[in-house]
Amino acid sequence: MPPAEAIALPAPRRFSWRHLPAVASDLVLREPYATVGLTIYLVFALTAIFAGSIAPYDPLEILFTSDGQLAASLPPSAEHLLGTTNLGRDIFSQLVLGARPSLAVGITAAIGVAAIGTVIGLVSGYFGGWIDTILMRLADIVVGIPFLPFVIVLAVLLHPSLTNIVLSVALLLWPNAARVIRSQVLTLRQRQFVEAARMSAASELRILLIHVAPNVLPLSFLYASIAVGWAILTEASVSFLGFSSADTISWGYMLQDAYASQALSRGQYIWFVPPGICIVLVVLAGFLISRGYEELLFPKLKD
């Protein structure tokens, strides 16, 4: 049995705000997992930015053939790269423009999860006492709330929208980040550089923001990358169940539309396979980035 110190989780190296650019470059250049994940994100981000120029048609436009017939269930061709739906809508245009709401939900929710989790983790771990008790009991309550049912209920009580999905993800996914950041802050507040800051009469707020926060920020980025995939997967699930806005074309909406139109039984695999692959790739990219980031923060874990 190895001694306890041999299996203890290694602490991340000390960071300051000026180290963040170097950490970002190390993540891209030294970690192949993160490089692949970031490349996937970059491709989808560029697609979303230039979707208006890439997509040849409006995703909700009902198209007709040259002889005036409804362009329904057409096979892939030069005019329609992925064919058309049973209502005559261009599938490729829906796939390209569907990247916008999907990535918007993922990135916005990730920022919300990282922000809430970081603030609560910092405050709870640094000040401790009754503040720590209240915040951690709140985290326990949030963890016990069923995730997808909560999102569905919120969509029903308010109205189906991407904002409600982002709000749901941010409200329910922060506890994991907060707990890990809190545990790191509990050790950081005992470090010599924090004690030195106290001896120099620095305020508690300055110590928290200048000396402690930069050291947990890499963990915030780690959980943000994980939250991107979760948010996009949640949006796809809610859209597939029919609780999303009918005016917003996303990958989840495409899957729901294909399912309701019985595309599988009619052999229209080109309708639902591409959006499914896109969802898988984006979720996988979040995992790859978190894996590479973890190895960068904890290099001894490679051994």
Tokens describing residue 167: 């709000």
Phi (first) and psi of residue 295, to 5 degrees:
-70, -30
pTM of the model: 0.78
CA atoms within 13 A on the CB side of 141: 7
Q: Which of 32, 216, 28, 244 is nearest to 121 (CA)?
A: 216
What domains, with CATH codes, occur in the chain?
A: 16-302 (1.10.3720.10)
pLDDT at residue 21, as a whole number:
56
* Residues of the chain scoring pLDDT < 70: 1-30, 293-303
Bridge partners for 64 per DSSP: 70
How high is the pLDDT of residue 120? 93
Backbone angles phi, psi at 90, to 5 degrees: -75, 120
In the numeric block, which tokens belong to residue 194? Answer: 């924090």
The amino acid at residue 161 is S
CA distances from 110 to 49, 65, 222 (A): 19, 43, 10
| pLDDT given at position 17 | 46
Cα 116 from Cα 263, distance rounded (Å): 41
